[in-house]
């Protein structure tokens, strides 16, 4: 459909016959439709990319959280071991 609109717009714009106001406005409208369709497609692609990135964030955060908790447990265990060694 986009290609059809582009072709029609090009043919109206490139026509050697004298343009009437209706022809001019038709060509302008077709260009506007084509531009809006292109912008919508780009925005839709961007939205899908953002959505995919946001879906991955909880998984990444959970993984990072698990690693940090493991590291914290190791350090607490080590500190408790040292305290036990020095106090008793």
What does the pLDDT look like over 37-48, one tens digit per residue? 999 999 999 999
The pLDDT assigned to 24 comes to 87
Please measure the distance between the N-terminal and C-terminal CA atoms of the chain and give it in whole angstroms: 82
What dihedral do alpha carbons 4, 10, 11, 14 form, nearest 10°?
180
% the chain with pLDDT above 70 = 82
Which of residues 57 and 81 earns the better pLDDT score? 81
C-alpha span between 48 and 16 (Å, rounded): 43
Neighbours of 81 (CB within 10 A): 10
pTM higher than 0.75 for the full model? no
Total number of domains in the chain: 1
Taking only the tens place, the pLDDT of each residue in 15-54 is 545 668 888 888 899 999 999 999 999 999 999 999 998 8
Give the residue numbers spanning the domain of 22.
2-87
């Amino acid at each position: 459909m986009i290609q059809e609109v582009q072709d029609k717009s090009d043919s109206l714009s490139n026509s050697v016959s004298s343009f009437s106001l209706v022809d001019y406005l038709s060509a302008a409208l077709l260009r506007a439709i084509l531009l809006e369709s292109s912008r919508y497609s780009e925005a839709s692609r961007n939205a899908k990319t953002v959505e995919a990135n946001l879906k991955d964030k909880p998984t990444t955060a959970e993984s990072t959280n698990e690693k940090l908790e493991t590291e914290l447990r190791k350090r607490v265990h080590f500190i408790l071991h040292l305290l036990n060694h020095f106090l008793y």
